[in-house]
Amino acid sequence: MYYNDKDLEGWVKDLQKKIEKEEEQIYSKTVIEEYRNPINFGTIKKPDAYAKIKGPCKDTMKIYLKIKNSIITKACFWTDGCGATIAAGNRLVKISLGKNIDEVSKISNKELIESLDGLPDEHIHCAKLATDTIHKAIKNYHK
């Protein structure tokens, strides 16, 4: 089937609206905001702490931290995962900034899920991947 540019543009817009409506039925507004606007996505050159974990669903999470006097002064994450994984990584990094590394090492995936206003059961592992990764980065820092 052949589409002209105007038809194709309309089809794409309609499809995007359908996807967004389905997402809004599955995810909280907080999750959607975090994964659509991941302000902490990226890497840090010469981080003080770093970790990389591949989760059970084959998503990879990397976390990079800059630490001064045991306080996280800069943090970024990178993932090849789904929207829920992006949201979990972004939110975790956001709530870790300015905090003591001992405090951050105690953040549970349950606390992260609560800060995201929930996650569907099939995406709980995304929060666990994020918390496991930051905990490993902090352990690596202590080595």
pTM of the model: 0.88
- Per-residue pLDDT, 25: 85
Which pair of tokens denotes residue 99? Answer: 């905090």
Residues in the chain, total: 143
Measured N-to-C along each axis, helices 29-36 and 5-26 cross at an angle, to the nearest 10 degrees, of 130
Question: For 84-113, what is each residue's pLDDT tens digit?
Answer: 999 999 999 999 999 999 999 999 999 999
Q: Which domains, and CATH codes, for the chain?
A: 29-142 (3.90.1010.10)
d(CA 111, CA 54): 21
Q: Residues of 76-107 as b/e, b for ≥16 C-beta within 10 angstroms?
A: bbbbebebbbbbbbbbbbeebeeeebeebbeb
- Per-residue pLDDT, 5: 67
Q: Which H or E element spans position 49? A: strand 49-54
d(CA 82, CA 35): 9
Confidence of residue 10 (pLDDT cuts 50, 70, 90): confident
d(CA 75, CA 128): 18
- Per-residue pLDDT, 3: 59
Cβ pair 127, 112 in contact under 8 A: yes
Confidence of residue 132 (pLDDT cuts 50, 70, 90): very high
